[in-house]
Amino acid sequence: MPDDRALPVRLRRVLTAVPEETALLFEDRTYPWAFLWRGVGDLERLLAEFADAHRIGIVLRNRPGHLAALVAVIATGRQVVTLSPFHGDAALAEDITALAPQVVVAGPEDWARPAFVAAAASVGAFPLLTGEDDRPLLARPADWPVAPGPAEPDDVAVLMQTSGTTGRPKRVELTYRKLTAAFEASGTPVASGEVRLRKHPSILWMSLVHIGGLYFAIANVAAGLPTALLERFDVGQWAELVRKTRPRRVRLAPAALRMVLQSDLPADVFDGVEQVSSGTAPLPADEADRFSARFGVPVLSVYGATEFAGAIAGWDLALHREWWAAKRGSAGRAFRGVELRIVDRSTGAPVPAGSVGVLEACGAQLPADGWVRTTDLASLDDDGFLFIHGRADDAINRGGFKIVPSVIEEALRAHPAVRDAAAVGIPDERLGEVPVAAVTLRSGCAVAELDEWLAERLARYQLPTEVRVVEELPRTPSMKVSRPDVRALFDPA
């Protein structure tokens, strides 16, 4: 079982190894490891009179001061309560009131939000301000009596909000032990005493409030890897950063990968890049192959979830070279220390290799001991490769016929005029639910043409009752399609 102090110790070792080396790039500035280490000192100094302060709420924007605050909380063994900058005033205030962090860290624009300030005051939180220059964290005057509520120290490193892809977001507890196990399983050293700082940075554009951003922000530090930080994904800015920093690996969620694939970027942008990692959502094999053919870089998918503290299965370069031709479309194999199995969704009994059922996983980074059931329909072949067939809880029940939305989405994406697609179920008085779909287009195309296209490729019960063309699909901060918001396009009430 991983030591719950191993991660803070590892981070502090890296931060102090060679303080003057570059740790962070943002816009036109570089920041040394000493900048992140000062964040640790700032946090300890500013909380000196609140020695018991353990739960630290951070409005996580992709900026140097916010990243330094995140690293400082983990490096001191405290608990991060993630607060989303993308929430409206009321939702963010509600989060603070419900979670009652003892300390709230935010940038000037968030402290300018009256409802945000009122919520921090209502829980008596101690306020801190993020800085961007030499001081990562600064004191902020409190216009209220600071009286943080009690919080017993525990093993929870991050009280993380899920992305809300399929429903209302919820909170999951990522413990120090689980995070350590997740890092070790994917090859990021935590228990090792050796510190080796790297030269080639890792580009991080995914929001720090999402597991994909937060995970790699901490993993990069643990690995001694500099981080090149972007506030949001923009193809042009991202490509410029790739050219400038020449990373060996880049990460592109499927939506971002499609944006790059649909751009006019030349292949030489990827000179020196050895692999593209893709996660957070399924990536069709055809798209992965088109990307590799155009840019000359293999695309390696991973499978994970917020609740798993990161990925639990995926591809590496050696696996890809040996198996991709035979296993294209797979999410790869289980990571070290993780076991996978497929069970019948009704009985829970394991099913034979190749059969579709519900995926279950077991391992040190999982949220409970023993087998943990996911909400994904999957299969495992005789060679241990995982194939995802959709989400069990996304299935649309149309009068007793079950429809996996990805079947409709893949059929729509195969049309040459369709850029992207999302299918959801909406209530129907007669059938219970019916499928509908929203699409974005590359070029002009009549909905009637799409209806005919689908009629040739889907069973009648799978056909959406409406296909709506939109300028952009609604997305979460992690760039996943937000299914609740797609559903709202058809049922605004």
Q: Give me the residues paired with residue 144 across strands.
A: none
pLDDT-based confidence at residue 308 (cuts at 50, 70, 90)? confident
Domain boundary among 185, 220, 238: 185
pLDDT of 167 reads 41
Residue of 62, 76, 40 lying closest to 107 (CA atoms): 62
Q: Is residue 377 part of a domain?
A: no
Tell me: pLDDT of 425 over 50.
yes
Of 150, 185, 220, the last residue of a domain is 185
What does the pLDDT look like over 155-192, one tens digit per residue?
999 999 875 444 445 788 999 999 999 999 888 889 87
- Is the model's pLDDT at 262 over the cut of 60? yes
**What CATH number is given to the structural domain containing 179?**
3.40.50.12780
Alpha-carbon distance 7 to 190, whole Å?
A: 6
At 255, the pLDDT band (50, 70, 90 cuts) reads confident
172 within a domain of the structure (yes/no): yes
Asked if 179 and 218 touch (Cβ cutoff 8 Å), the reply is yes
User: Lowest mean pLDDT: which of 197-211, 365-379, 395-409?
Assistant: 395-409
Half-sphere exposure for 186 (CA within 13 Å, toward CB): 26
pLDDT at 165: 42
The residue ranking higher by pLDDT, 252 or 171, is 252
User: Would 297 be classed as within a structural domain?
Assistant: no
- Split at pLDDT 50, 70, 90, the class of 103 is very high
More confident residue, 163 or 43: 43
Judged against a pLDDT cut of 90, whether residue 467 lies above it is answered with yes
Q: How confident is residue 353, by pLDDT bands cut at 50, 70 and 90?
A: very high
Question: What does the radius of gyration of the chain's CA atoms come to, in whole angstroms?
Answer: 23
Mean pLDDT of the chain: 91
Structural domain boundaries, residue 145:
6-185
For 298-309, what is the mean pLDDT?
A: 89
Residue 446 lies in a domain: yes
Between 482 and 394, the higher pLDDT residue: 482
Q: What is the pLDDT of residue 342?
A: 97
Mean pLDDT of 229-249: 94
| Cα 76 from Cα 37, distance rounded (Å) | 11
Q: Is residue 1 a part of any domain in this protein?
A: no
- Residue 14 falls within a domain, yes or no? yes
The reported pLDDT for the residue numbered 267 is 95
CB-based contact 163:478 (threshold 8 Å): yes
Burial class (CB in 10 A: 0-12, 13-18, 19+), 373: middle
How far is it, in rounded angstroms, from Cα 262 to Cα 470?
Answer: 17
Is 136 inside any structural domain?
yes
Domain annotation covers residue 99: yes
> What is residue 449's predicted lDDT score, i.e. its pLDDT?
92
Residue 168: predicted pLDDT: 44
* DSSP annotation of 125: P
> Domain total for the chain?
2
The pLDDT assigned to 39 comes to 97
Where do we find the tokens 């940075």? 201
Q: What pLDDT is recorded for position 163? A: 54
CB atoms closer than 10 angstroms to residue 260: 21
Minimum mean pLDDT among 106-110, 175-179, 388-392, 414-418: which range? 388-392
Note the pLDDT of residue 152.
Answer: 76
Confidence band (pLDDT; 50, 70, 90) for 102? very high
**Domain end residue (candidates: 165, 185, 205):** 185
State pTM to two decimals.
0.83
Alpha-carbon span 221 to 245, nearest angstrom: 17
